[in-house]
């Protein structure tokens, strides 16, 4: 950190708690998004920060850093001054599946300050419409009677689509061949074409094909049914206890952000998520708001890291970049 910035930051920390809280934020806040502009992750960041800025009384400047599958953005965030003026939209890849399956140059827990959860979208178990099953029980029976005949596509090795299906295979002891793709779009295309038979994508990516009958939804992850797929049971309902893997999004900053600034950010973020229009805006990506305190979100990240690390070891999923 440059000497002038260091002195300024030290002076800010020396201010009384109440004075510092009232003074923050006095300039725009940099909000790093670890993906390229234009996708669902980016859209969520822009929708949330636009309204969050109004509640907070300061502008957020969204900065897309897509290199290294989130590693570059994570490093930029952890190296920033912990003054509340650099935040990042962490999500299940940066603070869950990626650290579990690869060696990354950051610690998803120790190197970050949890600010709060934004929301999550479930994953959905789908099958090609030509697969002769209409329920989870029928699917499991069919897979057992036809060993080696089913394959599933994913967005890539170590992705949430991969890890969720591996969790399902671990729970059911089924053999379903993994076909990794470079992204979710080609994986879904091959499922629609019948080259693969099943997959476990995020609901936002699959919803249009479910609604048009091109694929059949058998179950969703999460603790409750999706508001846009009310007739599809949860994995929990079907007997898969604790099977709540979801594509989640939240806000983190570098480690060491003062607690009063974290409190102000969290309270204004929660107020933003409670705005009437936010639920409708987030549902475009099938995301349900899930406001949490910093402590709750920090524990959530710890649980996610532990869950996916244990699965990666059990399924021997250790990847090299």
- CA 291 from centroid of its chain's CA atoms: 14
**What are phi and psi for residue 289, nearest 5 degrees?**
-60, 140
Separation CA 184–CA 26 (nearest Å): 40
Do residues 88 and 164 share a domain? Answer: no
Structural domains counted in the chain: 2
What CA dihedral angle connects 42, 43, 44 and 49, to 10 degrees? 90
Please state, in angstroms and as integers, the Cα–Cα distance from residue 259 to each residue in 43, 118, 151, following that order: 28, 19, 48
In a domain, 89, yes or no: yes
pLDDT of amino acid 17: 53
| CB 251 within 8 Å of CB 90 | yes
pLDDT of amino acid 266: 98
Q: CATH number, domain at 195? A: 3.40.190.10
Do residues 216 and 251 share a domain? Answer: no
Closest to 159 (Cα-Cα) out of 183, 130, 185, 135: 183
In a domain, 17, yes or no: yes
Do residues 52 and 143 share a domain? Answer: no
pLDDT of amino acid 19: 53
Do residues 287 and 256 share a domain? Answer: yes
Do residues 300 and 251 share a domain? Answer: yes
Do residues 113 and 175 share a domain? Answer: no
Please state, in angstroms and as integers, the Cα–Cα distance from residue 163 to each residue in 18, 221, 227, 247, 311, following that order: 45, 13, 24, 11, 8
In a domain, 108, yes or no: yes
The b-or-e profile of 240-258 (16+ CB within 10 A means b, else e) is beebbbbbbbbbbbbeebb
Taking every pair of Cα atoms in the chain, the longest distance, rounded to a whole number of angstroms, is 69
Residue appearing with tokens 């475009």: 284
Peptide bond preceding 85 in cis form (omega within 30 of 0) = no
Do residues 167 and 216 share a domain? Answer: yes
In a domain, 167, yes or no: yes
| CB 99 within 8 Å of CB 92 | no
Do residues 152 and 115 share a domain? Answer: no
Out of 170, 204, 220, pick the residue that ends a domain.
220
pLDDT of amino acid 320: 79
Do residues 78 and 139 share a domain? Answer: no
Do residues 29 and 129 share a domain? Answer: no
Domain housing 18: 3-120+246-314
In a domain, 226, yes or no: no
Do residues 132 and 88 share a domain? Answer: no
pLDDT in tens, the chain (321 residues): 444 455 455 555 555 555 555 699 999 999 999 999 999 999 999 999 999 999 999 999 999 999 899 999 999 999 999 999 999 999 999 999 999 999 999 999 999 999 999 999 999 999 999 999 999 999 999 999 999 899 999 999 999 999 999 999 999 999 999 999 999 999 999 999 999 999 999 999 999 999 999 999 999 999 999 999 999 999 999 999 999 999 999 999 999 999 999 999 999 999 999 999 999 999 989 999 999 999 999 999 999 999 999 999 999 999 976
In a domain, 88, yes or no: yes
pLDDT of amino acid 158: 95
pLDDT of amino acid 258: 98
In a domain, 225, yes or no: no
In a domain, 235, yes or no: no
pLDDT of amino acid 20: 54
pLDDT of amino acid 3: 47
Out of 220, 255, 283, pick the residue that ends a domain.
220
Do residues 115 and 128 share a domain? Answer: no
Q: CATH number, domain at 29? A: 3.40.190.150
Out of 168, 185, 220, pick the residue that ends a domain.
220
Three-state secondary structure call for residue 293:
coil
């Amino acid at each position: 950190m440059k000497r002038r910035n260091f002195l300024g930051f030290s002076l800010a920390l020396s201010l009384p708690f109440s004075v510092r809280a009232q003074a923050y934020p006095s300039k725009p806040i940099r909000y790093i998004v670890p993906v390229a502009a234009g996708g669902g992750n980016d859209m969520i960041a822009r929708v949330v920060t636009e309204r969050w800025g109004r509640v907070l009384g300061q502008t957020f400047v969204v900065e897309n850093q897509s290199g290294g599958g989130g590693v570059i953005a994570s490093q930029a965030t952890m190296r920033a001054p912990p003054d509340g003026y650099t935040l990042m939209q962490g999500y299940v890849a940066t603070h869950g599946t990626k650290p579990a399956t690869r060696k990354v140059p950051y610690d998803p827990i120790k190197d970050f300050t949890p600010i709060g959860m934004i929301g999550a979208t479930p994953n959905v178990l789908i099958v090609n419409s030509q697969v002769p099953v209409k329920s989870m029980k029928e699917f499991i029976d069919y897979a057992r009677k036809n060993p080696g005949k089913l394959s599933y596509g994913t967005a890539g090795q170590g992705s949430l689509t991969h890890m969720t299906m591996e969790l399902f295979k671990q729970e059911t002891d089924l053999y379903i061949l993994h076909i990794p793709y470079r992204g979710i779009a080609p994986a879904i295309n091959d499922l629609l074409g019948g080259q693969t038979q099943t997959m476990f994508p995020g609901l936002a990516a699959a919803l249009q094909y479910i609604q048009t009958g091109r694929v059949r939804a058998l179950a969703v992850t999460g603790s409750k049914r999706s508001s846009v797929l009310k007739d599809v049971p949860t994995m929990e309902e079907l007997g898969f206890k604790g099977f709540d893997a979801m594509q989640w999004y939240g806000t983190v900053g570098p480690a060491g952000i003062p607690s009063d600034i974290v409190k102000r950010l969290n309270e204004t973020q929660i107020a933003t998520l409670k705005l009437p229009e936010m639920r409708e805006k987030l549902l475009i990506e099938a995301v349900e708001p899930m406001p949490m305190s910093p402590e709750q979100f920090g524990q959530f990240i710890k649980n996610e890291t532990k869950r996916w690390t244990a699965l990666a070891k059990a399924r021997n999923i250790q990847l090299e970049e």
